Amino acid sequence: MVGTCPKCGAALHADSVFCEVCGERVVSEECPRCGASLESGSVRCGSCGSALMRCPSCNAPNTLDSAFCVSCGKPIAASPGRPSAPEPPRPQQVPVSQPMPLRHAYREGDDDDDPTMLSKMVTLTPDEAHQGCRKTVRTRRGETVEVVVPPYTHAGSHVDIDGYGLPDGMGGRGKLHVTFFIAR
């Protein structure tokens, strides 16, 4: 356990994005290149060293070579010496036809150090967790992925979807790691 939630005081895990007790977001921003946590207002990622700029629409951090905001998807205005950005691509609906198997806990060495994994949190109501449902998750590239949540899902359960994570440097992409949080 590392730190406590600023809202309710509950103990937090080192990789927590949301408080498991009250749902408060405990990580404010992520680097669009490597996914590392950023301090508020950062102009450079402390982990990968990428220089950052802010989206004029939503103030989210973006890399200097971004044509579109990784958060809201709007074009980032052209700066002097840089051509204006073309229209953003429309997100592609990618349904997951079968419920993905859930792994309930990480084991030592089980994707712990996968730099291509993109982690997302999905909040479920207690009814959605009990009955099952479909939820959409948006990747950093603006793709919309539909995730089938099986009945009797519990907090901390997760689904890994290959090919929707971060670029691996060899033309492929890692896993999209979706963790379920149940709101109270």
One domain for residues 76 and 148 = no
To the question of pTM greater than 0.85 for the whole model, the response is no
Tell me the two tokens of residue 111: 């994707």
pLDDT in tens, 165-179: 888 888 888 888 888
One domain for residues 112 and 74 = no
- Phi first, then psi, for residue 94 (nearest 5°) are -120, 95
User: Which structural domain, as residue segments, surrounds residue 1?
Assistant: 1-30
What total of structural domains would you count in the chain? 3
pLDDT in tens, 18-46: 778 887 766 667 888 888 877 766 788 88
Helix, strand, coil share (%) of the chain residues, nearest 5: 5, 35, 65
- The reported pLDDT for the residue numbered 99 is 47
- The reported pLDDT for the residue numbered 174 is 85
Nearest to 154 by CA among 119, 121, 178, 130: 130
